[in-house]
Structure formats: C-alpha cells, structure tokens
C-alpha cells in the first residue's frame, strides 16, 4: 500500500511533550506562561482556573478543587513557529504518579521543572528515572530564579551526580549576590534582562543582542559572568543533539516562570531540540514507521470529565499514519473492528471535533467502550505495543458495598475504575467477588475511587484497613507454595497473581527460605 504523502511532513512539525515536576516546582505556572507566549490562551490564570473551580466540573473533580490539585490529564494542542505542539498534561500530586507514568509513554520529549532553591526532590528523581528507563529525552527547566536559590553550578553538579545525565546549559543566569539579573544565551550571547520597571513586579525585559554591551552590568558582574561562561565551555557542557536524544545529556534552561523569564527560550527549545515523532516499537520487537497506515495506543481512559455528558473518554496517541474521523480500525486486544466516529481534540475541558490527526497527535474518543490503557488500534495490520508500565502499589484497602441493594452498581463501578487504572482491584480466586482488595500507589487514589463509586455509580462504599502491607507479583508455581505458607495470593483482572504479605519482615523471611519462588516488585505492565 503506498503511504499518504502528507504524513511525514505533518509528523515532522509535531512536538509531543509533557511537563513534569515535583509538586510546587512551578509546573502549572510554566504551562500557563508557555500557552500565553505561544498565543494559545490570552488570559493569565486560565490554567489555574481550570483546576481551581471555574467551568464544568464533575463531582469527583470536586476533590481537585478542594485540594487544589490536578487529577485529570488531558492534552493541549497549539501551534508555535509553524509547529504543532501537543502538550500532555500530567497530574501534579505524587499519589497519581502512575497516571503520570502512563502519560510519559505517549510523549516524545519531557520538560522537567526544578525549583532552584530545592534542587532535585523525590518526585523529580523518580520521574527522571522513568524517562531514563523509557529513553525519553529530558529538557530541564530550573525555575524560580527570582527567589533566593542555590548556586546554578551546584545544581548542575547535582543533576549529573544524582541522575547520571550530563547537563548542558543552553542559557545561563546572571546572578549578583543572589539577585537574578537576566539570562544569557550561551550560543548567541544575547541577553534577556530581568528586573523591575517602576513599581511593577520583576519580569523579563526586551532582549539585548550581546550581553557584553549591556551597560547596567558592573565590571564585577561582567567578569564573573565571563568566567562562568568560559568554565562551561571549558568543560564541554555544550548541547549535542545525538547525546540528548540518546539520553546521555539534558539541555538546561533557567528562568522564573512567574516573571516570564526563560519561557520563550523553552518554547523555542521544544521546536529546535524537541523530538519529532519517530518509529514506534512494538511488543514483538519490530517497529511501526510513521508512514505506515494509521495506528495508535490508548494511554489514558478518563470517565466523566464533564457532568453534562457523563461519558468515558479514551486518549489515543497516534503512532503512525493519518487518522480520519469515522475510519474503521482493528482493536488488537479483542480482535474487533470499530469505527472511530466520535473523535475530539482534547483541549483541556473543551471538546473540539477532530477530523484528522497525524503521528504525535492525541485523539479523544468518546464512549469507545472496551478501550483500556495500553490497547492498540490500527487501520493496517494488527499491532501490539509494549505493555503499560505500572507502579508497585503501596497502599491497600478492603472495599465493601455499604448498600446491598446497590451491589450490581458497586461491581460495575469497581470494574470501570480498574479498567481505567484509577485503582487496582485484586480478588481472591476462591472467594470471587467477595471483599476485593483495592491497591494504589497513593492513598488519594482511594478518595477518588470512593467519590466516583458513590457519585457516578450510585454505590455507597466503605474501605477497611487490610491485613496486607507489601505486594509482589508471582507465578502459578510460586502461588501454590505461598498459599501453603499462609500468604494471600490474589488475582488481578488482567490475570497476574499478586502475593500479599502482612509485613516487609514476612516477605524478607519468605524470600530467604524459599529463594526459588518468583517474587517481583509490581513494576511490569
């Protein structure tokens, strides 16, 4: 079959990326400023308003409002310098890191935001590792330079030491006794001054072609800056595209999102350094090329994003070919054929009809029942992509229906939440549906699950503390030995066997006595 000639040039101008950070580093602020500078929104506060109470809200998103966190992930599409940006939104709270993990499977580049005063924080480290494992190139943005922070050189050292990615600063901050004076582009020498004009809040100022010509800098500042820039060049901390794409280096940008400093540099970096969609690996060791017939995979399923519709949206990352509304595709897991009629461009809470899409784009499919995270769809030969990564659950709770007349709804609700990946539902194969166990990475996932069971499915539910503390995946042979030794072995909907121990001590002692039993932390898909 001859390939569609529009696909390769359209894919080449796509940039699909996610912004990730430890909570509070400034992800929301930066997202908003990027959208403003790119002209995608025209009102500061729009992103925050989306999560802060304005607009359509579903009941369970009440949790987002009251806790001031973002649980839902969607995609924003906008154009900048002739390129189509697909910005995948990730939840800010660490309890939903599994969701972030899934979103990262759909991006080509990640932007990691670091608070200049705090450096690498636990969630930053974890996310860097995830990108590393997946081979996702990372651009680093060091934020909040307008506040007292750590020495930029020290931050670079920390990135290299803790993560093993060599930092290559593209811009460099001009500091004077802790005060942030501007950013120098290390290649062109251009300066973006930062400061206050009159009584206004400090902000990025109009650029100057060469920092050496900036008269406001004293000789001391000038000398120090010159030394720092020489030092960076001396150690060869320069951007190299191949090393960046190979996951060896991370280009570093500095700035203060709140004062718009460094934001334009970062937007440009997505065009200039960010990766265009490329071939996608399949589960069988092959690749899908972007020119191949349409294929995509579900990286997220989200129910009930809009209380007026109460429906279910599957987010699909296009891996190859051209998507056209209404096209017939093959659903790999079920072997069924489906027509993709109700396709939307998922711009935050709004839904715009989508007629076509190219590699790198995200399609929101409404009420595509039967689609689960990790599923592949294709218009040509069937394809299967590597399984979705999962985090080991660390929190468990026994779940019970509080109203026996609503048992059917309770069961339906649990199945839906499991399928969406809101929580994992584990069952005792002998006891069937009685008292399943919920497993989660963070306890707030339980809150979302309970709120949704009640509001969406009309199933009042209670959670009781479980006996189990630690989970490991096992196999059939292992499960028999484990049961004999009094360890609980439960079953996931997807078929894996999960051994649950009452304490880490119990697990360790079991591992010592029975080294032949396969017990793996639940990280595989």
**Distance, CA of 372 to CA of 27 (rounded, Å):** 28
Name which of 36 and 522 has its Cβ closer to ligand G4P: 36
CA gap 451, 447 in Å, rounded: 6
Of residues 161, 156, 142, the one with CA closest to residue 25: 142
Shortest CB 72 distance to ligand G4P, Å: 14
Report the C-alpha gap between 102 and 109 in whole angstroms. 14
Q: Compare residues 10 and 89 and give the one whose CB is closer to ligand G4P.
A: 89
Q: How far is the CB of 395 from ligand G4P (least distance, A)?
A: 22
The Cα 302–Cα 279 span in angstroms is: 27
Give me the residue label for tokens 């251009």: 190
Q: Which is nearer to ligand G4P, 93 or 472 (CB)?
A: 93
DSSP strand pairing (323-324 vs 470-474): unpaired
Q: State the minimum distance, in angstroms, from the CB of residue 138 to ligand G4P.
A: 16
Between 260 and 361, CB nearer to ligand G4P: 260
Residues near 340 by Cβ (< 8 Å), separated by ≥ 6? 323, 325, 326, 327, 328, 329, 363, 365, 368, 377
Nearer to ligand G4P, 28 or 479 (CB): 28
Both structure tokens of 521? 């932390």
What is the Cα–Cα distance from 37 to 39, expressed in whole angstroms?
5
Instruction: Please calculate the CA angle 36-37-42 and round it to the nearest 5 degrees.
Output: 30
SS3 at position 466 = coil
For residues 84 and 386, give the distance between their C-alpha atoms in angstroms, rounded to a whole number: 26
The least distance separating ligand G4P from the CB of residue 201, rounded to whole angstroms, comes to 10
**Least distance (Å) from ligand G4P to the CB of residue 26?**
3
Q: How far is the CB of 481 from ligand G4P (least distance, A)?
A: 45
Measured from the CB of residue 89, what is the shortest distance to ligand G4P in angstroms? 11
The nearer residue to ligand G4P, 144 or 330, going by C-beta atoms, is 144
- Interacting residues with ligand G4P (CB under 6 A): 21, 23-29, 92, 143-144, 146-147, 256-258
By beta-carbon proximity to ligand G4P, the closer residue of 44 and 469 is: 44
Closest of 370, 367, 348 to residue 309, by C-alpha: 367
């Amino acid at each position: 079959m001859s390939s569609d000639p529009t696909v390769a040039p359209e894919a080449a101008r796509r940039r699909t990326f996610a912004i990730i950070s430890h909570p509070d580093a400034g992800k929301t602020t930066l997202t908003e400023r990027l959208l403003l500078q790119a002209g995608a929104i025209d009102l500061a506060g729009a992103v925050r308003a989306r999560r802060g109470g304005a607009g359509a809200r579903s009941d369970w998103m009440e949790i987002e409002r009251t806790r001031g966190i973002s649980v839902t992930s969607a995609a924003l599409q906008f154009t900048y310098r002739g390129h189509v940006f697909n910005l995948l939104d990730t939840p800010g709270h660490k309890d939903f890191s599994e969701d972030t993990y899934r979103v990262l499977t759909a991006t080509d580049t990640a932007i990691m935001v670091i608070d200049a005063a705090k450096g690498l924080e636990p969630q930053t480290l974890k996310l860097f590792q995830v990108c590393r494992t997946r081979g996702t190139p990372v651009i680093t943005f060091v934020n909040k330079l307008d506040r007292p922070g750590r020495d930029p050189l020290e931050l670079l050292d920390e990135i290299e030491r803790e993560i093993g990615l060599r930092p290559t600063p593209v811009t460099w901050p001009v500091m004077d006794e802790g005060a942030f004076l501007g950013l120098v582009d290390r290649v062109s020498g251009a300066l973006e001054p930062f400061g206050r004009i009159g009584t206004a809040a400090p902000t990025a100022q109009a650029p100057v072609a060469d920092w050496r010509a900036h008269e406001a800098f004293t000789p001391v500042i000038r000398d120090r800056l010159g030394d720092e820039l020489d030092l960076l060049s001396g150690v060869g901390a320069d951007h190299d595209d191949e090393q960046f794409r190979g996951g060896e280096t991370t280009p570093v940008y500095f700035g203060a999102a709140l004062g718009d400093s460094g934001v334009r540099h970062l937007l440009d970096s997505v065009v200039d350094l960010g990766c265009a969609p490329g071939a996608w690996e399949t589960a069988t060791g092959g690749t899908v090329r972007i020119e191949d017939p349409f294929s995509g995979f579900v990286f997220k399923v989200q129910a009930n994003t809009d209380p007026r519709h109460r429906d279910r949206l599957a987010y699909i990352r296009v891996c190859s070919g051209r998507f056209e509304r209404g096209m017939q595709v093959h659903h790999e897991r079920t072997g069924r054929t489906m027509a993709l009629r109700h396709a939307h461009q998922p711009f935050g809470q709004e839904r715009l009809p989508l007629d076509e899409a190219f590699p790198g784009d995200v399609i929101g499919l409404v009420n595509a029942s039967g689609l689960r995270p990790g599923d592949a769809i294709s218009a040509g030969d069937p394809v299967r992509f590597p399984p979705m990564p999962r985090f080991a659950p660390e929190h468990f709770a026994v779940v019970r229906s509080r109203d026996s007349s609503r048992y059917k709804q309770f069961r339906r609700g649990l199945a839906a939440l499991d399928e969406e990946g809101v929580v994992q539902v584990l069952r005792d194969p002998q006891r069937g549906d009685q008292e399943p166990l919920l497993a989660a990475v963070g306890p707030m996932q339980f809150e979302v699950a309970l709120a949704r069971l009640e509001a969406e499915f009309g199933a009042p539910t209670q959670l009781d503390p479980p006996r189990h503390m630690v989970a490991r995946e096992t196999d059939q042979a292992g499960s028999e030995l484990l049961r004999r030794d009094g360890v609980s072995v439960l079953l996931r909907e997807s078929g894996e066997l999960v051994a649950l121990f009452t304490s880490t001590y119990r697990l360790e002692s079991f591992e010592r006595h029975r080294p032949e039993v396969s017990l793996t932390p639940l990280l595989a898909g």
